[in-house]
Homo-oligomer: A and B are copies of this chain.
Amino acid sequence: MIHIAVLGYGIVGSGVVQVLDKNSGRISQNAGQEIKIKYILDIREFDDCPYKSLFAKDFETIVNDPEIAVVVEAIGGIGAALEYTRRSLEAGKSVVTSNKELVAEYGSELLKLAMEKEVNYLFEASVGGGVPVIRPLAQCMTANIINEIYGILNGTTNYILTDMEKNGTDFSEALHEAQKKGYAESDPTADIEGHDACRKICILSSLAYGRHIFPRQVLTEGISGVTLKDIHYAAKLGYAIKLLGRSRAINDKVSVYVAPHLVSKHSLLAVIDGVMNAVVIRGNAVGNVVFCGAGAGKLPTASAVIADVIDAVKHLHARRWISWDECDAGLVVDSTLLDSAWYIRTDATRSKVEKEFGSVIFAGGTGNEAAFITGVMNGTMVGDLLSRGITVQSRFRVLGDY
């Protein structure tokens, strides 16, 4: 029997407890032994909770208990989560988490500490919720050199964009709806402005390219600039608008960014609706591989956390397959240099647009508005052209193989 502790009894923590209880037979069988929760750390009171007897208020009890082999960090954020993770690893306990913020900011340090202590720091649930992405990338695609990763990494923004597209709801109304349904937080900034997607593409890119990539290195644009007009024009051209996190290997460098993209209605990403996530990974041998499913939610996230717990239990002092080195400041290039076709909505006349951009595909628009897709050019060129007296309302990349 293995004893574990769950830090934090919020959505993720309580989901982990619930699934460990519900599927205990299969989980024990797969882990090769029973997994028993010895402590749940939370400062709050849960009077009606069936696991009441397990609650602890003091982390010292947990970190000093030699019986605890694995700690599930379900606190979130940086502060206490960082401190408890460090101290658990230092005490020779493996740590499992879904905390993308912590992994994106402190991943290389915590992985190094885990390696020194011969324990594991695992975070499958930090990207894609319940969808397996990190382990497939690290293990199943390990014979490949990774050329590109992109995907719909945030369920909240995808819910909002889907609502706008399917129901003609405007942005603020769709956001309000997402909040009512519990898909968006009362302060939705991290989702809406792309920070959450940014953390996830940082984690995937660090793993794929072997160096820690920090969120502050990544140009990040959210969806607050996407209007119903843009969605309408994109649809006329045969595209949906999706918020993508994306990274591409370019010679020895990597371009990483988060931004809304036009994706073809015939592509797989276009049918990923609502809170679903999808990640496309391109390897030089396997080509494109796509992973899709529920990107968040209590039970899906718990599913991924517990898979990591089982893995940690089966390899208490034995693994190295997730790792990357410290940041190399020169690795990440300016993503505006990445070639792309662009969707642009302006107040210019068609003739002015054609004069500045040459041959484009117009989506329509009358009088003082023109929406169109350009040929392939880099962002600097688009900026230069636009400085010639055209006011831009919207400007998004068109996903393609450039």
Q: Which residues of A contact B (CB under 8 A)?
A: 19-20, 22-23, 26-27, 30, 32, 124, 130-132, 135-136, 139-145, 266-268, 270-272, 283-294, 297, 299-300, 302-304, 306-307, 309-311, 314, 318, 320-321
In the assembled complex, how far is the CB of residue A308 from the closest CB belonging to chain B, in whole angstroms? 9
Q: In the complex the two chains form, what is the Cα distance from A318 to B314 in whole Å?
A: 10
The reply to whether A314 and B321 contact each other, CB–CB distance below 8 Å, is yes
Q: How far is the CA of A279 from the CA of B344 in the complex (A)?
A: 37
- A27 touches which one: B124, B142, B271, B286 (CB < 8 A)? B142
Contacts of A300 in B (CB 8 A): 285-287
Closest 6 CB pairs of A and B: A132-B140, A143-B306, A130-B286, A289-B293, A285-B303, A286-B303
Q: Tell me the bound Cα distance from A141 to B293 in angstroms.
A: 12
* Nearest B residue to A310, CB-CB: B142
Q: Give the nearest-CB partner of A290 in chain B.
A: B292
- Bound CA span A380–B331, Å: 63
A267–B124 Cα gap in the complex (Å)?
Answer: 26
- Closest residue to A129 on the B side, CB-wise? B286
Q: A135-B136, A139-B135, A268-B268 are in contact. Are A130 and B287 (CB under 8 A)?
A: yes
Question: A304, B140: Cβ atoms under 8 Å?
Answer: yes
* Partner of A302 from B139, B272, B285 at Cβ < 8 Å: B285
Residue among A19, A26, A306, A307 having the largest count of chain B Cβ atoms under 10 Å: A307
A23:B302 contact, CB within 8 angstroms: no
Across the interface, A284 reaches (CB within 8 A) one of B23, B144, B290, namely: B23
Tell me which residues across on chain B come within 8 A of A290, comparing CB atoms: 290-293
17 sample A-B contacts, Cβ–Cβ < 8 Å, listed by A number:
A26-B143, A30-B321, A124-B140, A130-B283, A130-B289, A132-B289, A142-B310, A143-B302, A143-B307, A143-B309, A143-B310, A267-B271, A268-B272, A271-B271, A286-B300, A286-B303, A287-B300
- For A20, list chain B residues within 8 Å (CB): 143
Interchain CA distance A19-B144 in the complex, whole Å: 8
The reply to whether B142 and A307 contact each other, CB–CB distance below 8 Å, is yes
Contacts of A297 in B (CB 8 A): 287
Expressed in whole angstroms, the Cα–Cα distance for A283 and B132 within the complex equals 12
B288, A294: Cβ atoms closer than 8 Å: yes
Q: CA of A44 to CA of B79 in the docked complex: distance in angstroms?
A: 64
